[in-house]
Amino acid sequence: MHRREPSNWLTYQHLNFLKRQVSFTGSCISCNWFDGTHKPQTEFSHLKPTAENAAVQNVSASRKAGSPDEPPHVQVETEEEKQARLDRQWKQLKVDRADLPDIYARLSKIKLTALVVTTAAAGFAMAPVPFDPIIFFVSSLGTGLASCAANSINQYFEMPFDSNMNRTKNRPLVRGQISPLHAVSFALACGVPGVALLTLAVNPLTGFLGALNIFLYTCCYTPLKRLSITNTWVGAVVGAIPPVMGWTAATGCLEPGALLLGGFLYSWQFPHFNALSWNLREDYSRGGYRMMSVTHPTMCKRVALRHSLGLIGLSTLAPVLDVTTWTFPIISLPINLYISYLAFRFYHKGDRSSARKLFFCSLWHLPMLLLLALTCKKYSRNQEGATLPAASLPLTLPAN
Amino acid sequence: MTELQVTCMQHLLLYLPRSVRAPSPARLHACRCSCTRSAYRPEPSSTHDWVGPPNPLSNLRPIVYHIPENETELEKRLRNLRQETEDWNHNFWAKQNITFSKEKEAFIISQLKAKGLTLRDEDGRRRSLSSEEMAMFYKNFLDKNRLRHANYNKEWYRRNFTITLLMARVTLNSVWRTVSERHSSKKNGTPTS
């Protein structure tokens, strides 16, 4: 058996190029370019071969979405081994206890949940009230559980669509690792305690916002993705609610400061998502997703630019609303200008690389912005302005 | 190698980068290519479903549903509904993917023709269009299929709900059955504890 050194001749870029040439109409070639560790799901079908159509069927047939940067490597195997491997690919739907944490992590989109909890925590921290670590922890936990529930239901609804998109092929329901009922039960097991925790241990307003967010995400955003481009705006609201929840968890009421923080997330969503969706247009089109990047490309770029500039305006609004000092708009100007610059380039060039640059910038821009806001937080406020509803915190500890 | 396999190999080699294009005989033999679908489908077990590899056309995984001993009416209904939904899903997505690829191919050819270019360049490599040019096709595809997608969506949600509710009922029933069996066997079992 000889192994060829992959990086010498066949790189991920080459395979991606080949993948783009895939046509399902013609011949059925698929070759195993991957060894068993990648668990290739290359399939062989006996469609009629066509001579000139020359379709290369899925040379990189199933690439796990989780490992986009690993170069594929080639392994030579005998016919029997290959058949045995194919046979092994039929798996019994038997949930191994040991796999459950990993499955649940992917079902609940744990990284996204962590980001949501971080934005909620930022909202909590920005609220101009004494920091209560217990309520902070409880509200973060409740928000995290609510987010897990929403993400699980989203995956439950979207199973056939996820199967057909490269980015999402790796999800548990798509791979058949758990049943749909299991996913729904997990969602209920997270969502009900999460919302209950927020309502009873924090305050009803936060609980209501949590439940509203779950509803918006699962029953509005998810179906809308396939019906209309307004899904992006609904999704931006969904992203804006967690910091508002953090603020209301701390103060107990909806104040302009909370809405401002929500506004930051709302505006940020557009350069973030529009840039991401720009390079996924083929998958969205094939999967039937109606996204601005596919149906209204000019609007997509314009909206991203508009909201990037809007972030500058919102940063200036922060000291006006007594959320931060006047230092904040000044020190956040460089990063806001940078993302606006990248959005402007995206608007003008509208190519893959400018979209990618804007997307990656958005990933660090948001945490940076929130951190800067935190460092410029305004601690002293007028007495009339601040309301500390101790009555709405039924589980306040005696020490407090 | 069969003739089909040889054709496959030729096609495959055409798309490899130049540096690889002229493989040595050793390399040729090393790349085993089979164009027959593995028709393997395991027998239904009585306890667990079998989940297979994704179908190349629809990208959905086939499932061989388990048939429990003493299958109840409800369980049979669930199994049939799941199987039928799976077939329906597979048909939709296979058709969708095939149509998409066909129309994409036709679009690329027509665009290249309009530019006065052939499908392949001098090296024999396929020409591709820029992503902006392809974007026209993607938009068109989505707009053309809007109603079809919306109908599929509605139907899929309805089926998904029904299946999940049925699964819940089946699970509750079997739990209840197990509990009541255990309860009655305890009653009829050892008289002293």
Q: How far apart are the C-alpha atoms of A381 and A44, rounded to whole Å?
A: 69
Residue B12 or A136, more confident: A136
User: Is pLDDT of A249 > 50?
Assistant: yes
CB neighbours of residue A223 within 10 Å: 17
Determine the average pLDDT of the residues in A143-160. 95
Cα–Cα distance, A268 to A358 (Å, whole number) = 11
Q: Considering only CA atoms, which of A265, A275, A269, A271 is closest in space to residue A340?
A: A271
Structure-block tokens of residue B48: 């667990």
Structural contact between residues A254 and A248, judged by C-beta atoms closer than 8 angstroms: yes
Q: Which residue has the higher pLDDT, B140 or A73?
A: B140
Tens of pLDDT, residues A85-104: 765 678 777 778 888 899 99
Mean pLDDT within A143-166: 93
Look at chain B and report how many structural domains it folds into: 1
Which of B45, B93, B141 comes nearest A92 by C-beta?
B45
Q: Is A285 on the interface with B (CB under 8 A)?
A: yes
Let me know how long chain B is.
193
pLDDT at A72: 55
Average pLDDT over chain B, rounded to an integer = 77
The answer to whether residue B193 sits within a structural domain is no
Beta bridge partners of B64: B50
pLDDT on residue A336: 95
Backbone angles phi, psi at A128, to 5 degrees: -80, 55
What's the pLDDT score for residue B116? 82
Of A3 and A258, the one with more pLDDT: A258
CA angle, residues B187, B192, B193, in degrees to nearest 5: 85
Specify the DSSP element, H or E, that contains B63.
strand B63-64
Q: What pLDDT score does B190 carry?
A: 58
Partners of residue B126 on adjacent β-strands? B120
Mean pLDDT of B22-35: 38
Residue B116 CA: distances (Å) to CA of A48, A52, B106: 30, 19, 15
What's the confidence (pLDDT) of residue B22? 43
| Element containing residue B51 per DSSP (H, E) | strand B50-51
Contact B18, A10 (CB under 8 A): no
Which of B7, B37, B143 is the closest to A295 by Cβ? B143
Give residue-wise pLDDT tens across range A286-342.
Answer: 888 999 999 888 899 999 999 999 999 999 999 999 889 999 999 999 999 999 999
B92 and B188 Cβ atoms separated by less than 8 Å: no
Q: Measured between CB atoms, does B157 come within 8 Å of chain A?
A: yes
pLDDT of residue A350: 86
Per-residue confidence at A167, pLDDT binned at 50, 70, 90? Answer: confident
At residue B112, the pLDDT reads 86
pLDDT at A384: 40
Domain range holding B149? 3-188
> Cα–Cα distance between A390 and B36 in angstroms, integer?
71
pLDDT, position A388: 46
pLDDT bucket at A43, cuts 50 / 70 / 90:
very low
The ipTM, to two decimals, is 0.72
Confidence of residue A21 (pLDDT cuts 50, 70, 90): very low
- Cα(A210)–Cα(A205) distance, integer angstroms: 9
Alpha helices in chain A (DSSP H): 6-9, 12-20, 79-88, 100-107, 110-126, 133-157, 159-163, 172-175, 180-196, 204-215, 222-224, 231-251, 256-278, 281-287, 292-295, 297-320, 327-349, 352-375
Strand partners, B120: B126
- Which two three-digit tokens encode residue B191? 């008289």
B172 assigned to some structural domain: yes
pLDDT in tens, B66-115: 888 888 888 889 999 999 999 999 999 999 999 999 999 899 888 888 88
Residues 6+ away with beta carbon under 8 Å from A232: A269, A270, A273, A274, A291, A292
Lowest mean pLDDT among A43-52, A200-209, B47-56, B167-176: A43-52
Using an 8 Å CB-CB cutoff, list chain B residues near A57. Answer: 56
Chain B residues whose CB is inside 8 A of the A59 CB are: 12, 15
pLDDT at B125: 75
Chain A interface disruption, residue of B51, B96, B156, B166, most A CBs within 10 A = B51
| C-alpha closest to that of B124 among B17, B31, B24, B27 | B17
The pLDDT-based confidence of A38 (bands split at 50, 70, 90) is very low
* A228 at B interface, C-beta within 8 A: no
CB within 8 Å: B34 and A351: no
Beta-bridge partner residues of A377: A324
pLDDT at position A74: 59
- CB-based contacts of A327-330 (< 8 A; 24+ apart in sequence): A327/A376, A328/A372, A328/A373, A328/A376
Q: What is the pLDDT of residue A117?
A: 95
How would you list the strands of the sheet with B50-51, edge to edge?
A91-92, B50-51, B63-64
**Cβ contact B54–A22 (<8 Å):** no
Assess if residue B98 is contained within a domain.
Answer: yes
| Domains along chain A with CATH numbers | 99-254 (1.10.357.140), 255-378 (1.20.120)
Mean of pLDDT over chain A: 79
- Model-level pTM? 0.72
Give a yes or no: residue B78 inside a domain: yes
Take residue A349 and report the two structure tokens written for it.
């060039």
Give the gap in angstroms from C-alpha A369 to the nearest C-alpha of chain B. 32
* Contact between residue A266 and residue A240 where contact means Cβ atoms under 8 Å apart: yes
Residues 327-386, chain A, touching B (beta carbon < 8 A): 350-352
Vertex A371 angle, CA A248 and A388, to 5°: 25
Percent of chain B clearing pLDDT 70 (strictly above): 77
With a cut of 80, say whether residue B60 has pLDDT above it.
Answer: yes
Q: Helices A180-196 and A100-107 sit at what angle, rounded to 10 degrees?
A: 70
**Partner A contacted by B142 (CB < 8 A):** yes
pLDDT tens for A169-211 read 888 998 888 889 999 999 999 999 999 999 999 999 999 999 9
Q: What is the pLDDT of residues A341-396, one digit of tens each?
A: 999 999 999 888 999 999 999 999 999 999 999 998 887 654 444 444 444 445 54
Kindly determine whether residue B51 and residue A176, on different chains, have CB atoms separated by under 8 Å: yes
| Strand partners for A282 | none
More confident residue, A40 or A368: A368
